[in-house]
């Protein structure tokens, strides 16, 4: 049995098409041993294989190349906000089918059951290092976190809430782009969210984007690129056009680091690349320089 067969679950989780390059120096399961699926993680950037438990204990970061892998909204929330401080906003918005795309409702229901969320973004109010902030987390497990009506509406409302209550916004972006199944309505969400950001901006409030894997398409071309400060996680994919579309146009293969966080930093489109482990103190430092008041009461660290 080829070792590749063991990784189906893992590969499904990270669909990037990079090929394995070097063998890892890390502790690595030996081939030929029958290991149940899902027990291993194979890094889509460098091909390193590690035990999933070790990998998840390491905040889902590849120990070999520092690629910050995709994580679900709950895990993200737990590692970001002060324990017990999160209150969700607009949890009851439900997806409909504006262009009557065949099978759309069924697909949404299936994802709601498997991901345990209603849609591809969760928004709410929380404390980070005792700074009160509005937070939004996109979850790429849900239809690649594409933006349809519900995603657009929740993000818009999150900014409107923050504008009204004079709060900063921290958005963790991840998306394959506009939700094509909703037709033109999904395209209009780009304008709608950008409008809400314009008002939050005019009200003098802070917006921090944290770009996670992958931030692409219509989300890159709207709210993800509009942060006052744009942070990216190491080695994640950030871009506008799909890699294959560009390769098809230029008829040649693109370098591996094309559209990476590092590529975006080099070209001037992100402010900094920040490790998951130091994100909370980084956000705290940013809040401090923007005249937000820190709550008195000590609430301890992150939930996780």
Partner 1 sequence: MMNALTATERLALIREKGRPTVRDYIPALFSNFIELHGDRHFGDDAAILGGVGMFGTIPVTVIAQVKGRNLEENKRSNFSMPHPEGYRKALRLAKQAEKFHRPVICLVDTPGAFCGIEAEKRGQGEAIARNLMEFMTLKTPVISIVLGEGGSGGALALAVCDELAMLENALYSVISPRGFAAILWKDASRESEAAELMKITAEDLLKFGVCEHIIEEPEGGAHTDPKLTAENISEYLSEAIPRLKAVDTDEMLRRRYDKFRKIGVFSEG
Q: Minimal distance in Å, beta carbon 213 to partner 1?
A: 15
Enumerate residues 6+ apart whose C-beta is below 8 A from 124: 86, 87, 88, 89, 134, 135
Q: Does 186 bind partner 1 (CB under 8 A)?
A: yes
Instruction: Tell me, residue by residue from 34 to 53, as one string, x for binding to Zn ion by CB under 5 A and - for no binding.
Output: ---------x-xx-x-----
Q: Which does 197 bind (CB under 5 to 8 A by kind): Zn ion, partner 1, none?
A: partner 1
Q: Which does 184 bind (CB under 5 to 8 A by kind): Zn ion, partner 1, none?
A: partner 1
Which residue of 50, 62, 206, 208 would you call a contact of Zn ion, by CB under 5 A? 62
Q: Does 64 bind Zn ion (CB under 5 A)?
A: yes
Q: Does 65 bind Zn ion (CB under 5 A)?
A: yes
Of 20, 167, 9, the C-alpha closest to 87 is 167
Starting at the earlier edge strand, list the strands of the sheet with 272-273: 87-89, 121-128, 131-138, 169-175, 207-215, 229-232, 272-273
Q: The tokens 């291993």 sit on which residue?
A: 40
Q: The tokens 């401080």 sit on which residue?
A: 85
Q: Minimal distance in Å, beta carbon 303 to partner 1?
A: 29
**DSSP type of residue 182:** G
- The span from the CA of 221 to the CA of 231, in Å, is 16
Beta bridge pairs of residue 128: 131
Length of the chain equals: 304
Instruction: Tell me, residue by residue from 206 to 245, as one string, x for binding to partner 1 by CB under 8 A and - for no binding.
Output: -----------xx-xxxxxxx------------xxxx--x
**How far is CA 128 from each of CA 145, 205, 288, rounded to the nearest angstrom?**
24, 16, 11
Q: Where does this chain touch partner 1 (CB under 8 A) — which range of 38-46, 56-64, 188-196, 279-287?
A: 188-196
Of 114, 116, 111, the C-alpha closest to 148 is 111
- Which lies closer to partner 1 via its Cβ, residue 100 or residue 110? 100
- Which lies closer to Zn ion via its Cβ, residue 42 or residue 192? 42
**What is the contact surface with partner 1 in residues (CB under 8 A)?**
92-101, 149-150, 152-153, 156, 178, 180-192, 194-199, 201-202, 217-218, 220-226, 239-242, 245-246, 249-250, 254, 258-259, 267-269
């Amino acid at each position: 049995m080829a070792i590749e067969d063991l990784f189906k679950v893992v590969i499904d989780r990270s669909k990037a098409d990079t090929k394995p390059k070097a063998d890892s120096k890390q502790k690595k399961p030996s081939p030929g041993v029958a290991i149940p699926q899902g027990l291993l993680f194979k890094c889509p950037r460098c091909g390193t294989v590690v035990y999933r438990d070790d990998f998840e204990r390491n905040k889902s970061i590849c120990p070999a190349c520092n690629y910050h892998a995709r994580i679900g909204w709950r895990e993200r929330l737990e590692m970001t906000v002060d324990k017990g401080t999160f209150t969700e906003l607009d949890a009851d918005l439900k997806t409909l089918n504006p262009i009557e795309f065949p099978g759309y409702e069924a697909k949404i229901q299936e994802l709601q059951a498997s991901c345990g969320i209603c849609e591809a973004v969760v928004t709410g109010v929380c404390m980070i290092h005792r700074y009160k902030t509005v937070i939004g987390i996109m979850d790429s497990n849900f239809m690649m976190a594409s933006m349809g009506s519900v995603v657009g509406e929740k993000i818009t409302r999150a900014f409107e809430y923050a504008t009204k209550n004079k709060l900063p916004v921290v958005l963790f972006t991840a998306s394959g782009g506009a939700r094509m199944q909703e037709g033109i309505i999904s395209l209009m969400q780009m304008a709608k969210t950008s409008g809400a950001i314009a008002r939050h901006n005019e009200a003098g409030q802070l917006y921090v984007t944290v770009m996670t894997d992958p931030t692409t398409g219509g989300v890159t071309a709207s709210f993800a690129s509009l942060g006052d400060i744009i942070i990216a996680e190491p080695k994640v994919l950030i871009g506008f056009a799909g890699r294959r579309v560009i390769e098809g146009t230029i008829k040649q293969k693109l370098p591996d680091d094309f559209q990476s966080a590092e590529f975006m930093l080099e070209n001037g489109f992100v402010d900094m690349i920040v490790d998951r482990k130091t994100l909370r103190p980084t956000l705290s430092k940013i809040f401090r320089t923007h005249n937000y008041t820190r709550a008195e009461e000590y609430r301890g660290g992150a939930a996780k």
